[in-house]
């Protein structure tokens, strides 16, 4: 049977039955006639990739491992499977490792079935399966650093260290403990960092830290 888009088979990997059903329904809406297998654990998924499916929708957090291990296994086998991460995580700490593992798409579970199906149908037209917020994050990450504000002095070594720890996800109290400073002092450093970098949130500061090579993206 010919399947629109050329994707005859798919594997959905998610530990939540409701999410598996929703993802499978989106695939079937996007590619009528596609055969969809499902797995709730990494072990089950690894047992279902011989032969490899044409498409795989993979959650990252699984009871016995990470969806990235499945993506890496498919890549190691030389499979032509189009691997798409389907997750609730929209942060750099999950996005970039997944892409490095071999994911060719990254969609968030904040869409209804029809909008996800529309995104999947776009694959056949060469459109990358990326949620809009993820696409914006990627574009911003690869934009060149803006020219430094002539009136803004560079970050001091201490400010740079505060930024690095903040970008790694440490709280104010944790940063203060790590550096032997008071919470109030760290808060003051962060205000100066925000001003110098022209950012207004911890997330924006973390992104700037990654772009400056202070933390791994």
Q: Of the candidates 110, 141, 172, which is a domain's last residue?
A: 141
Is 39 found in the same domain as 136?
Answer: yes
Specify whether 91 is located in the same domain as 50: yes
**Number of independent structural domains in the chain:** 2
CATH of the domain at 162: 1.10.10.10
Give domain status of residue 181, yes or no: yes
pLDDT beyond 80 at 216: no
Q: Is residue 88 assigned to a domain?
A: yes
- The reply to whether 83 and 131 lie within a common domain is yes
Q: Looking at the structure, do residues 119 and 168 belong to the same domain, yes or no?
A: no
Q: Establish if 216 belongs to a structural domain.
A: no
On whether residue 152 sits in a domain, the answer given is: no
pLDDT, tens digit (0-9, with 9 covering 90-100), for 22-74? 999 999 999 999 999 999 999 999 999 999 999 999 999 999 999 999 999 99
Do residue 66 and residue 15 come from a single domain?
yes
Instruction: State whether 108 and 192 are in the same domain.
Output: no
Q: Say what the pLDDT of residue 13 is.
A: 97
Last residue of a domain, one of 90, 115, 141: 141
Asked if 88 and 127 sit in the same domain, the reply is yes
Residue 112 has pLDDT above 70, yes or no: yes
Residues 186, 132 within the same domain? no
Range of the domain at 163: 157-211
Q: Provide the pLDDT confidence category of residue 6 given band limits of 50, 70 and 90.
A: low
CATH number of the domain that residue 105 is part of: 3.40.50.2300
The per-residue pLDDT for range 129-171, each reduced to its tens digit, is: 777 777 776 766 666 555 544 455 788 899 989 988 887 778 8
pLDDT given at position 1: 43
Res 126 pLDDT > 80? no
What is the tens place of the pLDDT at every residue in 64-103? 999 999 999 998 888 889 999 998 888 777 888 888 888 8
End position of a domain, from candidates 79, 108, 141: 141
For the chain, the distance separating the N- and C-terminal CA atoms, rounded to the nearest angstrom, is 43
């Amino acid at each position: 049977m010919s399947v629109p888009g050329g994707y005859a088979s798919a594997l959905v990997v998610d530990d939540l039955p409701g999410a598996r059903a929703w993802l499978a329904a989106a695939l079937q809406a996007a590619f009528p006639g596609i055969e969809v297998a499902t797995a709730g654990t990494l072990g089950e998924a690894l047992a279902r990739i011989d032969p490899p499916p044409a498409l795989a929708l993979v959650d990252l957090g699984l009871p016995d491992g990470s969806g990235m291990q499945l993506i890496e296994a498919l890549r190691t086998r030389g499979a032509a499977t189009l691997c798409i991460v389907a997750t609730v995580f929209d942060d750099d700490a999950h996005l970039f490792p997944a892409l490095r593992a071999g994911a060719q798409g990254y969609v968030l579970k904040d869409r209804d079935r029809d909008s996800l199906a529309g995104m999947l149908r776009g694959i056949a037209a060469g459109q990358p399966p990326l949620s809009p917020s993820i696409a914006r994050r990627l574009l911003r990450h690869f934009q060149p650093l803006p020219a430094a504000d002539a009136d803004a002095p560079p970050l001091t070594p201490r400010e740079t260290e505060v930024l690095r720890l903040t970008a790694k996800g440490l709280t104010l109290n944790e940063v203060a403990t790590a550096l032997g400073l008071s919470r109030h002092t760290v808060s003051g450093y962060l205000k100066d960092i925000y001003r110098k970098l022209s950012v207004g949130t911890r997330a924006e500061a973390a992104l700037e830290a990654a772009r400056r090579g202070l933390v791994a993206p």
